[in-house]
Amino acid sequence: MNKMDTRAFACTPAAGAPTIALAAIVLLLAAFSMQATACGTLPSEQQQQQDAEQLQRLRALTTDMARSADAIFVGSVTALQRPDRAARRSGEVSLAVARTLKGPQAREQTLAWDDHFIYSCNPAESFDNVGFRDAGTYIVYIKNARVIRSAAADALRDSALLSLADEISLIAAQEGK
């Protein structure tokens, strides 16, 4: 090997390293961009199909949870103590009941709760979320004296697919009302 060949060989890896790194970054970005889309940004036909599938799942989840719940009501938070995960202590929420959909009638309910939250573009995946905010209004599902689902029943309701009126109708149908 002559000196020219040695120099060319010694410089090639150093000169090629930035190119290889750049190519790897471009490939990673391309892989992520193919999977990462914002909620609701699918082409119209695909979004409509996905929404129809999600609505069907939400209706089935509502019916199943209504069947298994001991009580369901719509109420507004009057007092709120948040759970403390570090201390492994549940929170407590008191709600003024506006409408009882299942179970015993009561003007106020005080219940234990543990926060559970999944954020997803697919509403069915976050159906059994549990969480409260001060003065918020919620539809609340209870089993064994614990909240198993809470969903906003006011202007902050996040599901445009299953309206509160539709959810209440499904519960009423399950209860034979």
Q: Which of 20-24, 38-42, 125-129 has the highest mean pLDDT?
A: 125-129
Q: Is the pLDDT of residue 176 over 70?
A: yes
Helix (H, G, I), strand (E, B), or coil: what is residue 68?
Answer: helix
pLDDT of 42 reads 82
Q: What's this model's pTM, rounded to 2 decimal places? A: 0.74
Closest CA to 80 of 148, 134, 28: 134
Across residues 156-165, what is the average pLDDT?
81
6 or 62, higher pLDDT:
62
Helix (H, G, I), strand (E, B), or coil: what is residue 117?
Answer: coil
Which class would CATH give 68-175? mainly beta
Across residues 92-100, what is the average pLDDT?
97
**Distance, CA of 111 to CA of 72 (rounded, Å):** 12
Amino acid at 24: A
Helix (H) or strand (E) run with residue 47 in it: helix 44-68
Helix (H, G, I), strand (E, B), or coil: what is residue 108?
Answer: strand
pLDDT of 23 reads 59
The pLDDT tens digits of the residues spanning 137-157 come to: 999 999 999 999 999 998 888
**Distance, CA of 117 to CA of 46 (rounded, Å):** 26
Neighbours of 22 (CB within 10 A): 10
